[in-house]
Amino acid sequence: MSRLGRSFAYLWSSTALSNLADGVLKIGAPLLAVSMTRSPTLISLVAAATTLPWLLLALHAGAVADRADRRRIMVRANLVRAVILAGVTLLAVLGLLNLWLLLAAVLLAGVSEVFADLSAQSVLPMTVPRDALTKANGRVSSAQMIGNDFVGAPVAGLLVAALPAVVFGAPALLYAAAGLLLLGMRGAYRAEGGAGTGAVGEAATKAGAERPEARTERAEGGVEARRPMRADIAEALRFLWSHRVLRGLAITAGLLNLANSAYFAVFVLWAVGDGSEIGLEPAGYGLMTTAFAAGAVVGSLLSERAAGVFGEFRTLVGCWLVTSLLLLVPVIIPSPWTLYPTAVLWGVVGAGGNVLVISARQRLIPAKLLGRVNSAYRLVGMGGMPLGAAAGGVVAEFAGLGAVLVGATGVCLVGVGLVRRALSDQISGPLTSTAALSDMSGSR
């Protein structure tokens, strides 16, 4: 990593450790919950608690990331998560942990995750040279995939069976180490010309005189004027809603994530335990996530080539369509022999679609708005996840697990059909063509 610099080495190492902690917690928490209750409604609350902070705090976290030092936000968020999970570990050792304390821990850790993740998305371009961004992003993505799924998920399955308290203790140590590593990054990481500044008098420079990421409006005498955070948030929302491509992608992502959240909130009951349809052990459920990760690595590598052959939008819609149809396989053929290959295919097409969406967002959002518009996009795209998870549990309680799994698949297919119809003029080209950008207001 010598070419990418010392600061990137610290950032990459911190990312690797924090994502390993994420992987253990993501799989370990619902598996521990299954050991406490078999109620679909209560189990679904774990997924809801994990994603609820994105609904409540994403916009504010994005505005904070464009105002404050992004490295310091990440350090504090990681240390807060470490303290929370250390406390839960102590409760587990003393035999005092119950489902409600588990839910509270997951919720509070999720609050810190929102601030850490949104700041991390924006700090990387400030760490490496512009011509090294692709290389740096590739290394970060690999660290995330390996930590979350290749290592974290199977380790969580083993820990639940052997040492349940360590499901929280190990992530606590990892988050603490991740936060401390970030202190090795040199310099300040506050965005120039970003959120929080507005014009009191005439702008000091004409539009285009400065780089977009360094542009700001100054009051008389060169003093920057603070404006309310709600004005920064409103600017991001206007930009997102006025951009036809970003708006269409965000709404579709919202439908897909809502449905998938309902599906996977109760899927653990369909897959794990003696009374389940598939009959996996906890370690086997972690292995399913590892199979998904293996496919995701392949999908990430093939996405650019597929887009070049079939067109970016056609490839994206195809990935979303195949992902949705694959949700039916564990319902129709509930067997480990079909689940693991299906998980690999989920990873291939799911990661391929994600790479294309993220790349489109990076091209279409101006640098100085990146934190806020990304947070607005993720609010629309992820805000429905806690509602989907909770709804999945309630429906499963009254109509059965199969009804949730099939119904979620139907919602996904509707979402794919809507984006295919709304952006049909993009079918054979990149998501940045003139037709895509014509329906824009002056929010840029």
Neighbours of 360 (CB within 10 A): 21
How far apart are the C-alpha atoms of 347 and 259, rounded to whole Å? 17
Q: Which helix (H) or strand (E) holds 214?
A: none
pLDDT of residue 206: 30
Q: DSSP class of residue 354?
A: H
- pLDDT band (50, 70, 90) for residue 251: very high
pLDDT of residue 213: 36
Helices 40-67 and 370-382: crossing angle, nearest 10°? 170
Note whether 156 and 23 are within 8 A (CB): yes
Q: How many residues does the chain have?
A: 444
How far apart are the C-alpha atoms of 98 and 109, rounded to whole Å? 17
pLDDT of residue 196: 53
Q: Average pLDDT in the 63-83 region?
A: 92
Coil, strand or helix: which one is 361? helix
pLDDT of residue 183: 93
- pLDDT band (50, 70, 90) for residue 244: confident
Neighbouring residues of 146: CB distance < 8 A, sequence distance ≥ 6: 16, 19, 293
Query: Could you read off the pLDDT of 13-49 as tens digits, one per residue?
Result: 999 999 999 989 988 898 888 888 888 888 888 888 8
How far apart are the C-alpha atoms of 172 and 191, rounded to whole Å? 29
pLDDT of residue 252: 92
pLDDT at 145 over 80: no
Neighbouring residues of 86: CB distance < 8 A, sequence distance ≥ 6: 168, 169, 172
- pLDDT band (50, 70, 90) for residue 4: confident
Q: Which of 126-140, 295-309, 314-328 has the lowest mean pLDDT?
A: 126-140
Q: Name the token pair of 254.
A: 């919202």
What residue type is assigned to position 342 of the chain? Answer: T
How far apart are the C-alpha atoms of 411 and 418, rounded to whole Å? 11
pLDDT of residue 199: 32
Note whether 81 and 113 are within 8 A (CB): yes
- pLDDT band (50, 70, 90) for residue 198: very low
| Torsion 25-372-142-409 (CA) sign | positive
Burial bucket for residue 148 (CB in 10 Å: 0-12, 13-18, 19+): buried
% of the chain beyond a pLDDT of 70: 84
pLDDT higher at 189 or 407: 407
Residue spans of alpha helices (H) in 37-162: 40-67, 70-93, 99-123, 133-145, 152-162
- pLDDT band (50, 70, 90) for residue 193: low
Radius of gyration of the chain (CA): 22
pLDDT at 120 over 50: yes
Q: Which helix (H) or strand (E) holds 294?
A: helix 282-310
pLDDT of residue 140: 77
Q: Average pLDDT in the 75-94 region?
A: 95
pLDDT higher at 330 or 426: 330
CA torsion, ordered 272, 278, 281, 286, to nearest 10 deg: -80
Neighbouring residues of 128: CB distance < 8 A, sequence distance ≥ 6: 4, 5, 8, 135, 136
Coil, strand or helix: which one is 211? coil
Neighbouring residues of 94: CB distance < 8 A, sequence distance ≥ 6: none
Q: Average pLDDT in the 100-105 region?
A: 94
How far apart are the C-alpha atoms of 193 and 367, rounded to whole Å? 10
pLDDT of residue 51: 83
pLDDT at 81 over 90: yes
pLDDT at 89 over 60: yes
How far apart are the C-alpha atoms of 247 and 389, rounded to whole Å? 23
How far apart are the C-alpha atoms of 313 and 254, rounded to whole Å? 18
pLDDT of residue 152: 83
Note whether 24 and 286 are within 8 A (CB): no
Summarize the chain as % helix, strand, coil (round to 5).
80, 0, 20
Q: Which of 84-98, 233-247, 421-435 has the lowest mean pLDDT?
A: 421-435
Q: Name the token pair of 271.
A: 């897959």
Q: Name the token pair of 333.
A: 């053929």
Query: Could you read off the pLDDT of 313-368 as tens digits, one per residue?
Result: 888 899 999 999 999 999 999 999 999 999 999 989 988 888 788 777 767 888 77
pLDDT higher at 67 or 112: 112
pLDDT at 67 over 70: yes
User: What pTM, to 2 d.p., does this model score?
Assistant: 0.71
Query: First CA to last CA across the chain, in angstroms?
Result: 36
> What mean pLDDT, rounded, does the chain reach?
81
How far apart are the C-alpha atoms of 184 and 175, rounded to whole Å? 15
Neighbours of 372 (CB within 10 A): 33
CA–CA distances in Å: residue 188 to residues 72, 194, 345: 9, 14, 42
List, in sequence order, every residue forming a beta bridge with 46; answer none if it has no partner. none
- pLDDT band (50, 70, 90) for residue 195: low
Neighbouring residues of 71: CB distance < 8 A, sequence distance ≥ 6: 119, 123, 182, 185, 189
pLDDT at 110 over 80: yes
